[in-house]
Amino acid sequence: MRITRREILAAAAVVAAPGVLRSQQKLFINLGVPNAATDVGYFVAHKKGYFAEEGLDVRFQTFDSAARMIPVLAAGDLQIGAGGPSAGLYNAVARDIDIRIVADKSRNQTGQGSQKLLVRKELWDSGKVRKVADLKGMRVANAAPGSSGATVLYKFAQSAGMRPTDFNEVFMSTPQMVQALQSGAIDAALPFDPATTLAIRNGYAMSLGNDYDVYPIHQIAVTLYSGRFIKEQPKAAVGFLKAFLRGVRDHNDALGPDKLLAGEKGDEIAKILAEYGPFKDPNVYKRFVIAYCDPDGQLDMPSIREDIAIFRELGHLKTDVDLSKVVDTSFLEAALKEIGPYKKK
């Protein structure tokens, strides 16, 4: 059978199409998020058209923790995930499931954190619970076993001379935590902002401490790529991070000296968070400090290693972790070559 040159070129175009982003055609990407304030970089990039400029049609899928994204990322149905680096991720990679940490999403550091350990207001008012040690044997809610939140709870327990097993730990999503604190179904919880701030403002809970009080620098969340996405769409993998970092930089530009959203730029970011996030009042997002989102997407590797050590101590890891098989910053490096390092505007 004879094949013409035109047919060969047409076939080559079809093969090349997945790795080439054309202006007239956008690549659909499913992005898993916890729908927290620290998703701000993704939300801003979507709202302001940065993803679209890279030829990407990004669609958000909500999960209550990154640990629950792992099976969908492994299957390739979810191209990108955003959340905490979990024990489940490390166990999956040890089984040769192809998922990679490629960039920062957010980290807790002194003065900028996304979590507080909350106690039910009635327990505080009665004087029954005024410190972490008072929670021994009580119902404490976290997102998922082996999640990055689990290492924060470990640190809180350690600060009180306890172990996480001294709590009656239960698992639920952040919105469910707030409802359960209000109803009295749980005694304490470790939710993410803005739910944390609202629970306190609405009189449901009191704070026993910030995440950074016990874990001063913690890589609480990362950007994850499925191996299939990396292999099939390398240009899109770089383009996504370029757009994401532009969104993160807009957020950093909008922060005042106190790290709160301020001025016209702050108003713009707050409106975007209200549009995409779970709470629809923009003023909510101007009342608390969002965890640090690195404008160059850099990861805090010492924190990642410390989490792994804690997971190992808690028995969540089934084997040793080879970080060279987990972390791949090549797409971040390529994105930064194109957009350059961050300079605050």
The pLDDT tens digits of the residues spanning 172-226 come to 988 899 999 999 999 999 998 888 988 999 999 999 999 999 999 999 999 999 9
Residue 41: pLDDT above 50? Answer: yes
E strands, 47-174, in order: 56-62, 80-83, 99-109, 116-120, 139-142, 168-171
pLDDT category, 24, cuts 50, 70, 90?
low
Residue 23: pLDDT above 60? Answer: no
Side chain identity, residue 280: K
Residue 19: pLDDT above 70? Answer: no
Print burial letters for 216-229: b (CB count within 10 Å at least 16), e (below 16).
Answer: eebbbbbbbbbbbb
Percent of the chain whose predicted confidence (pLDDT) is above 70: 93
**How high is the pLDDT of residue 15?**
38
Size of the chain, expressed as the number of residues it contains: 345
pTM, whole model, 2 decimals?
0.88
**What CA–CA distance (Å, rounded) separates 171 from 301?**
27
HSE of 240 in the Cβ direction (CA atoms, 13 Å)?
A: 29
Assigned CATH class of 26-110+218-339: alpha beta
- Mean pLDDT, rounded, for 117-133: 97
289 near 206, Cβ under 8 Å? Answer: no
Q: What is the CATH number of domain 116-215?
A: 3.40.190.10
Side chain identity, residue 174: T
**What CA–CA distance (Å, rounded) separates 103 from 327?**
8
**How high is the pLDDT of residue 167?**
97
Fold match flag (26-110+218-339 vs 116-215)? yes
Residue 283: pLDDT above 70? Answer: yes
- Look-up: residue for tokens 């993998």? 237
Domain boundaries defined on the chain: 26-110+218-339, 116-215
Helix, strand, or coil (residue 44): helix
